[in-house]
Every structure is written in structure tokens, then in C-alpha cells.
Chain A
Amino acid sequence: MSEERIKLGHGSGGILTRRLIEDTLLRYFRSPRLASLPDSALLELDGGRTAFTTDSYVVDPIFFPGGDIGSLAVFGTVNDLAVVGALPRYISCALMLEEGLPTAELERVLESMRRAAERANVEVVTGDTKVLPRGKADRLFINTAGLGVVPEGKPIPGGRARPGDAIIVSGPVGEHGAAVVSLREGLNLQSSVVSDCAPLTSVAQAVLGAARRVEFMRDLTRGGLATVMNEVTGPDRPGVLLDEARIPVRDEVRSICELLGLEPLYLACEGRLVAVVDPDSADDVLRSLHRIPGAEESRRIGHIVEDYPGRVALRTRLGTRRLLQMLSGEQLPRIC
């Protein structure tokens, strides 16, 4: 790697994170199951297909409107399983606690995890607890790993998106990022934005049930919609064209972005996914999504195009076009 030291931007989920993983981590870990960097690995265990994933949560602040580090740690891992087509079953819970953390805060987080696990229909079955000296951790970090089963006979997402394929997002974007940034020290923003933090299992299953082809499905986390769309394309692949006017963004989120110079398309979500499906199924997928609580605002936001190979373009409201690059550097520190 060209950098001598790890920078904050290496954790942003954008281009630096990708480079750290591809240029450094993958030199050491060479499993073919890891090579395509899926949200979850698909493993053949005893004849059945099992999905396996892990994620660490270091959000600051640990409580935010619409959730907290506990619900995030459950739903984030559940969603990584859901978007590969799995039904999440079991998760682990590893806690890294800072010396001095009030027990009441810990219990508040644990209660939130319990409720989140119940809602997502997963069982916490193993765990670990470490305490770090004051200052060596920031209050509380959580790692969760998750196991899910992929139903027999159901399609799993993945393949190569083709020109004409439809791009669908399961709801308004940027709410989690906006909710977290509105609490940042020194901003004193009063806002009604609530994190979209939620499990995506039924949303993902609805997409897989209604579409003939699902070439791509991912939950939108760090780096937001723009960064994930850049993962749809790549060298020698057709481009992506999004229609700005069709991308759902709540007014409160837009306002925060205008004030702070952020772009909603780069803000994190924790309860939205994007799917690339065959054009003939798009309407069926949307009808199916609109019946699912939390996905009522699903929209078709663009399609795969021959133009712009390897790139993501945006048709603006003014009718002009510009590119959407991957997030480079850090837009916000520690949002998930």
C-alpha cells in the first residue's frame, strides 16, 4: 500500500477502504470465497447453503434518533446476510468496553440489542467481553458475526448487470448519516431526522421473490448510494445512469446537507438496499416492495446503460449530467 499509516479515510467505506482491502488485506487472505468481497460469504455446510458475515460498530454518538449502537450492531449484520439472499438465524455479540462506562448505558444498549434481535428474528448465541483502560476505547465498541441459511431453490443475487436493467432503492436515502451528524458536537442542529436503522430480510426476500433476475443487491451503508452504485459497475462493465429527480430524499435530510455542505447520495443508510433487476420484473418488484412496512417508498431510480462504461452518471434535475464518484476520503467520522 502506498500509505505509510492508516488514516481515518481508510474506514470511510469509500475508495480508500476499498484500496486497503484489495491491496493489503487480500494479499494475506486468499480464499476464493473472499475474492469478490461479498457482504456475506456463502458456504456449503452439510449440503445446505449457509451465509456467514461479521461487522464491527464504532458509531459516535452511541445513541442517536431512531437507534443506537446496539440496534445498529444487530441490523447491520442481519442486513449483510439478507442481501446475499439468506434468512439470518444466529449472531454473536463481542463487546469492547471502556473503563468507566456507566453500567446503565451498557444495559440500555443490551436492551436495544435484545429487541432488535427479536425484531430481526435472530438469536444471540455466543459472545465475548473485553474491558479496555480509559482512553483506549471510546465508551463502547461492538462486533457481531452472523449466520443465515439460504432457502433451497430460491435464487441468490449476483451476476453481471446488463444494459436496460432497472435500479431500485427501497426507500429515502441518507437518513442514518443525517441523524448522526445532526448530533455532532458543536453543531447544535435541531432536526427531526430519524435513522432508518432497520432489518432488511423481508425487503430482500421480496426482491428475490418478484424478480426474474437480480444481478446485484446490497445494503447502503457507509459511502451511501453513490458509493454502492460504483460497485455495480467497474472496468469492462456497462455504466449506471441515475435520475436525481427520482431518488427519494427527505426534505429534512436535504436541509442538513445544504447547511453542512454534504451530499445526501453519499450519506450512510442502515435500513435501505439497492437492487439491480431485469427491466420486465421492475414493476412487480416495486409492487411487492410497496406492501412491506418500511419499503413503501421504494422507487426505480435509474438503469444500466451502454454509455459511461465503468462509471456512474447522474441526470440532474436541470437535465444536465455529471458523474458520481466513489466517496474519497472521509465525509463524516464514525457513522456506523
Chain B
Amino acid sequence: MRFVDEFRDPEAARTLAAQIKRTAKDAPPMRFMEVCGGHTMAIHRFGIPHLLPDNIELLSGPGCPVCVTPSTYVDRAIEVARESNERPVTLTTFGDLYRVPGGTESLEDAAGRGLDVRTVYSPRDALKLAADNPQRDIVFLGVGFETTVPTVAATIMEAREQGLGNFRVLSGHKTMPLALRALVEAPEVALDGFLLPGHVSTISGPGPYRFLADEFGIAGCVSGFEPTDILQAILSLAEQVVEQRPAVENRYGRAVRADGNPTAWDVVEAVFQPADSQWRGLGMIADSGLAVRDEWQDHAATPPEPARQSLEHDRCLCAQVLRGIARPTDCALFGTACVPGSPVGPCMVSSEGACAAFHKYGTGHE
């Protein structure tokens, strides 16, 4: 399969692994964090940690959009459907969010008792539902980072063009750079480098991460998702650390341009504006979210904040896992009370969560 097999070549991977070993030889321990759910899955699927020397440790950060979405978002989504409008509501969501526990129930539970919840592959599928079902309100649950939000913004524009007033978005969108700032400013996490998100950077470019090197002296490298991509980026991080020249490198040049995709970002800025956002594990981070602008409010779903703050399960370590201060296998619930079929925390629910990756690929048990 072209464009895939080249990047999974065992010989190339072995060569890179040997280079990493040579570079890290005699160096102090290094801790690198990936902040993209796609990286988390790829790292465990391909068994990348087995190829690394003992003094390089990989940690998962807040890179899985579903994982960092607070349970109150699910509660608000269900609240939207409960609102008594003139029109009954259909909730549309990417599959990942379907089983995430809210304060009292998940979307799947709500669907089980009769709420109309549909999983879609694209916000445009939701728009089509709106066109086909004028008697219903179609609410799209907008969760995701820079990668996802341009298509949502474009779909809102399309809805207005087509006069589909029954299409609305409940925005839970977030942007990555300020979350990384919050993470490195917190005292408990000591990191030497970030494997910077590949898809997010196709939109934003690597520029927004420069502060990591400039202000905090932390290495950074944008990475793709195939094994040789990831190994190249880890090699770059190790070199930056050993040579003490932290920077933001881009080893995903076939997809990420220096300025990202300004056209896509213009569409986002036309429809959305920065807003404070609650992150699971990191708390409230100013301006790290995206809210629908006033001019587009007719396509925004705005349920009231739930009166009761729903509590996370008291023994679930998702919040610590998301900050890289606990490994999934440190959690007492992992693999026993919390498994993919009946997850407790979002890191197990999402197919891109660190707990799901550890469980699915048996990391720590191999």
C-alpha cells in the first residue's frame, strides 16, 4: 500500500531506533509527552516503546479531545435534547463521544431510553439530516481541536446559505497551545520534550508552539503517525535535549506547512471566537476554547450550565493520566472496574484515550 508501507518499513525503523539509542547513550533520563490521541494509538499499536532505550520515557498528555471534554458537556448535550422547543431534537455526534459517561448518564444510555442520538462521520452528515428532517432540530456535538473545527465552521456557514435554521452546534471545541502552556506551568510535570500534534499542526502550523522552547527550554517536534515518523520525531527530540538546543522542528513536512492552513483558520475565525474552556484534568483555561460568535448564534445550541456540577468517579485517575503524572496501569480501576466495554473514565472510552490504548494493545502486560 503506497504512502503507508514506506513509513512502516521495518529496516528503516530499526535504523532510526539504533540512531536514537546512540544519541541517548549516557544521557540522563528523558521524558517526552505526546499530545495527540492519534499518536497515543500509533505508539502502542506499533509497540514503539519497545524500540526505545531505557532512558527515554513516553507519556500521554491531553491530546484526545473526548478525554479532555468534561462530563458536564455530555450533561449539557442531553439537556439540549430535553429542552422543550417547538421541534424535537436529534443529537448528532462522532462515535467516540457516544459512550462517554456524563454526570448521570452517557449519550448511549440516553439513546437507550429513547433520546434520538445518531453517530455521524462528518458535520455535513448532520447538515444533510437537517435538510432531510425540517421538522426536527439537528444538534451537532462539536468536540475536537484545531483539526476538526474548520469543517464545523464551514458547515455552519453552509447551513446559513441553505437556510437550514434547524442545524445547530453545541461547541465544546478547544485549541491546543494554551493547554500545553498550562501543563508546563504546573509544577508536578517535568518534561523534556513534546511530540507535537500532527493533524492539529496541519491547520495551525508549528508556530504556536515556539513558546515551549523559547520560554521553557522544552524540545518540540511535529510528528506524523507512522512508526518511522514517530521515531524520527523522537530522534529529533533526543538530539535537541542532548545538544541543549530546544526548538520546534517539523518532521511531518509532507502534511504540515510552516504557516499551517490559513484558509481553514480564516473560516474558523469567522464563525468562532476564543472563550474560556473547562478541560478534564487541567481545569478552566482562559481562552483555550472556541465559542460560536454572536453573528452566528442562530446556529448555536446554548443549554444552561447544569446546576449541579457532576462529580468524576473518585478513584478514576484520568485527570492525572491526562497530565502525564500517572500511567493508566497505576489506576486501581484499570482493567477491572474500568474496561472498554464498560468504561469509568473518558481515557478508557475514547478509542484514542491513553487507557484504551494501554488496554487494547496490552502495554505493561506484553
Q: How distant is the Cα of A187 from the Cα of B120 in the complex, in angstroms? A: 10
In the complex, the answer to whether B46 meets A316 with C-beta atoms within 8 Å is yes
In the complex, the answer to whether B351 meets A261 with C-beta atoms within 8 Å is yes
Task: Convert A1-40 into 0s and 1s, putting 1 for each residue whose CB lies closer than 8 angstroms to a CB of B.
Answer: 0110101010000111001000000000000000000000
Among all A-B residue pairs, the 8 with the closest Cβ atoms: A323-B362, A320-B47, A328-B340, A320-B50, A322-B361, A328-B341, A5-B112, A186-B125
Interface residue tally for chain A (C-beta within 8 Å)? 29
A69 nearest CB across to chain B (Å) = 23
Chain A residues 295 to 326 lying within 8 A of chain B, measured CB to CB, are: 311, 313, 316-323, 325
Q: Does B311 contact A (CB under 8 A)?
A: no
Q: How distant is the Cα of A14 from the Cα of B1 in the complex, in angstroms? A: 29
Q: Does A329 contact B (CB under 8 A)?
A: yes
By a CB distance below 8 angstroms, the chain A residues around B351 are 261
Q: Does B282 contact A (CB under 8 A)?
A: no
Q: How distant is the Cα of A5 from the Cα of B109 in the complex, in angstroms? A: 8
Among A3, A7, A254, A311, residue most surrounded by chain B Cβ atoms (within 10 Å): A7
In the complex, the answer to whether A318 meets B10 with C-beta atoms within 8 Å is yes
Q: Does B4 contact A (CB under 8 A)?
A: yes
A152 nearest CB across to chain B (Å) = 43
Q: Does B365 contact A (CB under 8 A)?
A: yes
By a CB distance below 8 angstroms, the chain B residues around A283 are none
In the complex, the answer to whether B359 meets A251 with C-beta atoms within 8 Å is no
Interface residue tally for chain B (C-beta within 8 Å)? 36
Q: How distant is the Cα of A258 from the Cα of B2 in the complex, in angstroms? A: 12
In the complex, the answer to whether B121 meets A186 with C-beta atoms within 8 Å is yes
Task: Convert B35-68 into 0s and 1s, putting 1 for each residue whose CB lies closer than 8 angstroms to a CB of A.
Answer: 0000000001111101100000000000000000
Question: Which of A254, A321, A325 meets B47, CB within 8 Å?
Answer: A321
By a CB distance below 8 angstroms, the chain A residues around B362 are 311, 313, 322-323, 325
In the complex, the answer to whether B1 meets A254 with C-beta atoms within 8 Å is yes
Q: Does A121 contact B (CB under 8 A)?
A: no
In the complex, the answer to whether A318 meets B46 with C-beta atoms within 8 Å is yes
In the complex, the answer to whether A323 meets B361 with C-beta atoms within 8 Å is yes
Q: How distant is the Cα of A329 from the Cα of B343 in the complex, in angstroms? A: 10
By a CB distance below 8 angstroms, the chain B residues around A328 are 339-341
Q: Known: A186-B121, A187-B121, A329-B340. Is A319-B361 also a contact (CB below 8 A)?
A: no
29 A-B pairs with C-beta separation under 8 A:
A3-B342, A5-B109, A7-B108, A15-B339, A19-B341, A186-B125, A187-B121, A255-B1, A258-B4, A261-B351, A313-B362, A313-B366, A317-B8, A318-B46, A318-B47, A320-B46, A320-B47, A320-B48, A320-B51, A322-B361, A322-B362, A322-B366, A323-B360, A325-B362, A328-B339, A328-B340, A328-B341, A329-B99, A329-B341
In the complex, the answer to whether B363 meets A322 with C-beta atoms within 8 Å is yes
Q: How distant is the Cα of A285 from the Cα of B45 in the complex, in angstroms? A: 32
By a CB distance below 8 angstroms, the chain B residues around A255 are 1
Q: Does B122 contact A (CB under 8 A)?
A: yes
In the complex, the answer to whether A321 meets B1 with C-beta atoms within 8 Å is no
By a CB distance below 8 angstroms, the chain B residues around A5 are 109, 112-113
Q: How distant is the Cα of A313 from the Cα of B44 in the complex, in angstroms? A: 13
Among A9, A261, A322, residue most surrounded by chain B Cβ atoms (within 10 Å): A322
By a CB distance below 8 angstroms, the chain B residues around A321 are 47, 50, 366
Q: Does B172 contact A (CB under 8 A)?
A: no
A16 nearest CB across to chain B (Å) = 5
By a CB distance below 8 angstroms, the chain A residues around B47 are 316, 318, 320-322
By a CB distance below 8 angstroms, the chain A residues around B121 are 186-187
By a CB distance below 8 angstroms, the chain A residues around B109 are 5
Q: Does B13 contact A (CB under 8 A)?
A: yes
In the complex, the answer to whether A186 meets B122 with C-beta atoms within 8 Å is yes
Name the residue of chain A whose CB is nearest to the CB of B109: A5
Task: Convert A258-291 into 0s and 1s, putting 1 for each residue whose CB lies closer than 8 angstroms to a CB of B.
Answer: 1001000000000000000000000000000000
Q: Known: A187-B121, A318-B8, A322-B45. Is A2-B342 also a contact (CB below 8 A)?
A: yes
Known contacts A316-B46, A318-B46; 13 further A-B pairs (Cβ under 8 A): A7-B108, A7-B112, A14-B341, A186-B121, A186-B122, A311-B362, A318-B8, A319-B14, A320-B47, A321-B366, A322-B363, A323-B361, A325-B362
Q: Does B227 contact A (CB under 8 A)?
A: yes
Question: Which of A14, A15, A323 meets B365, CB within 8 Å?
Answer: A323
Task: Convert A26-56 into 0s and 1s, putting 1 for each residue whose CB lies closer than 8 angstroms to a CB of B.
Answer: 0000000000000000000000000000000
Name the residue of chain B whose CB is nearest to the CB of A320: B47
Chain B residues 94 to 135 lying within 8 A of chain A, measured CB to CB, are: 99, 108-109, 112-113, 120-122, 125, 128
Among B45, B109, B120, B361, residue most surrounded by chain A Cβ atoms (within 10 Å): B361
Q: How distant is the Cα of A39 from the Cα of B108 in the complex, in angstroms? A: 31
B126 nearest CB across to chain A (Å) = 10
By a CB distance below 8 angstroms, the chain A residues around B125 are 186
By a CB distance below 8 angstroms, the chain B residues around A254 are 1, 4
By a CB distance below 8 angstroms, the chain B residues around A323 are 360-362, 365-366
Q: How distant is the Cα of A150 from the Cα of B276 in the complex, in angstroms? A: 69
Q: How distant is the Cα of A323 from the Cα of B44 in the complex, in angstroms? A: 10
In the complex, the answer to whether A325 meets B8 with C-beta atoms within 8 Å is no
By a CB distance below 8 angstroms, the chain B residues around A320 are 46-48, 50-51
B315 nearest CB across to chain A (Å) = 17
Chain B residues 12 to 42 lying within 8 A of chain A, measured CB to CB, are: 13-14
In the complex, the answer to whether B341 meets A16 with C-beta atoms within 8 Å is yes
